[in-house]
Amino acid sequence: MAHPFVHIELPTNDLAKATGFYSRLFDWKLEDLPAPESDMPYTMINVGDGTGGGMFVQSDPNVSSHWLACVGVDDIEASTVKARHLGATVLQDVMHVGDYGWLSVIMDPTGAVIAMWKPGMGP
Same domain, 43 and 101: no
Same domain, 62 and 96: no
Q: How far apart are CA 16 and CA 55, in angstroms?
A: 10
In the 3-class helix/strand/coil scheme, how is the chain assigned residue by residue?
CCCCEEEEEEEECCHHHHHHHHHHHHCCEEEEECCCCCCCCEEEEECCCCCCEEEEECCCCCCCCCCEEEEECCCHHHHHHHHHHCCCEEEEEEEEECCCEEEEEEECCCCCEEEEEEECCCC
Q: pLDDT at residue 27 above 70?
A: yes
Q: pLDDT at residue 102 above 90?
A: yes
Q: pLDDT at residue 41 above 90?
A: no
Same domain, 8 and 48: yes
Neighbours of 27 (CB within 10 A): 9
Cβ-contact 21, 58 below 8 angstroms: no
Which range of residues forms the domain containing residue 94? 73-123
Whole-model pTM: value is: 0.85
Q: pLDDT at residue 16 above 80?
A: yes
State phi, psi for 12 to the nearest 5 degrees: -130, 155
Tens digit of pLDDT for each residue in 65-98? Answer: 999 999 999 999 999 999 999 999 999 999 998 8
Q: pLDDT at residue 1 above 70?
A: no
For residue 14, the cross-strand partners are none
Same domain, 15 and 63: yes
Same domain, 57 and 83: no
The confidence band for 34, taking pLDDT boundaries of 50, 70 and 90, is confident
Residue 9, domain CATH? 3.10.180.10
Q: pLDDT at residue 37 above 70?
A: no
Q: pLDDT at residue 117 above 60?
A: yes
Same domain, 63 and 3: yes
Mean pLDDT of the chain: 91
Same domain, 22 and 48: yes
Domains held by the chain: number: 2
Q: Are strands 53-57 and 89-97 parallel, antiparallel or unpaired?
A: unpaired
pLDDT score recorded for residue 38 = 66
